[in-house]
Amino acid sequence: MFNDYKSFILQKPDKRLRQVCLKVTNFKEAKEIADKLIEITKKVDGPLKISLGMAAPQVGYDKRVIILRKSQGEYTVMVNPKIVKQKWNLPIFSRCFSVDGVFIIKSPYWIKIEYQDLQGNYNSEVLRGVKAVTLQQEIDHINGVLISDIGLRLL
């Protein structure tokens, strides 16, 4: 049951996880991608509520769209996200739905991000702690980078 997510989310070494995603210009397509990300995240979330975020390549799209968990059942959609400032690089345990194992990685704990919403409006936000770590991982995904490239596998 728990390994069920592997039938919805692309797994390493799928080549589609390695593409550098393209900038979104078609916001109708961005909406379609966001809907798919949210649908699959809810499906795999289960009672543990472990999914904090997901990126377009994990569900087979090559566009710069990510989602981040805001609160239970609610997600922030970020289109064309761009890190404008980051700090507090520290080690943390982390995992990814697309890669087996638990890793220790080094990640910023503070990120200022600029992104567009699904209407194309520009927003900026500051994220701290686990949310910043998750955001960094989703940004890595849309650049074709996986947790196994930057981390040390422990389990």
Q: How far apart are CA 101 and CA 49, in angstroms?
A: 18
Tokens of 110: 């503070």
51 or 116: CB nearest Zn ion: 51
The sign of the CA dihedral 77, 80, 86, 89 is: positive
Min dist. Cβ of residue 96 to Zn ion (A): 3
138 catalytic residue (yes or no): yes
Min dist. Cβ of residue 25 to Zn ion (A): 25
9 or 79: CB nearest Zn ion: 9
Closest residue to Zn ion, judged by C-beta, is 96
25 or 39: CB nearest Zn ion: 39
Min dist. Cβ of residue 137 to Zn ion (A): 5
Residues near 104 by Cβ (< 8 Å), separated by ≥ 6?
Answer: 91, 92, 93, 94, 151, 152, 154
Binding residues (CB under 5 A) for Zn ion: these are: 96, 137
How many CB atoms are located within 10 Å of the residue 70 CB?
Answer: 11
Q: How far apart are CA 17 and CA 9, in angstroms?
A: 10
**Catalytic residue list:** 138
